[in-house]
Amino acid sequence: MWSIIDQVRFSVCVPWVRSAERFFRKHTANSSIITKSAVPFSEPGTDISVPTKLLSHHLTNSPIQLDAEGIPFANPSSDLSFGTFASLFPPTDQSFAARLFRLGDALFDDIDLRLDDSVSIDVRNRVHAVRRKEALSKWPASSFRHLKQPRKLCQFDVR
């Protein structure tokens, strides 16, 4: 008898376990029939080096520890951020994953304000808002610079 997680692996396909009765609605004398199939993560022939590199980076920065009951959990480092994932991609990479991590960096990662400790909280908040807006404003230009002309989202035919 194999368990639901019979092998931990990272590949193009993931194991998909389902109850035959639940998904196929067939009634048999033995209602505990289990069917195992593979569901592709991506198109066949897709390079899996990028997901492997991302997973490796995450695991390197997230030591697996045991809680009080002995159950393992990942404890991500405080240094792990969208920017660290974005740095794994070359600056010219325009893939979905690269753009997504760059957007996460612009939206959520810490911003070094480079301000003296004596600066008031109101000024700090304003500088933070301006720098966050600047980072977010730079994202579309860097993410879609490969497009010659912006795509039209809607076209109206006015005659």
Rounded to 10 deg, the angle between the 96-108 and 121-143 helix axes is 170
pLDDT at 150 over 70: no
Confidence (pTM): 0.62
Closest CA to 143 of 96, 107, 104: 96
Contact criterion met (CB below 8 Å) for 37 and 14: no
CA distance 42 to 52: 13
pLDDT tens profile 29-88: 556 666 677 666 566 666 778 888 999 999 999 999 999 999 999 899 999 999 999 999
- Give the separation between CA 133 and CA 135, rounded to whole angstroms: 5
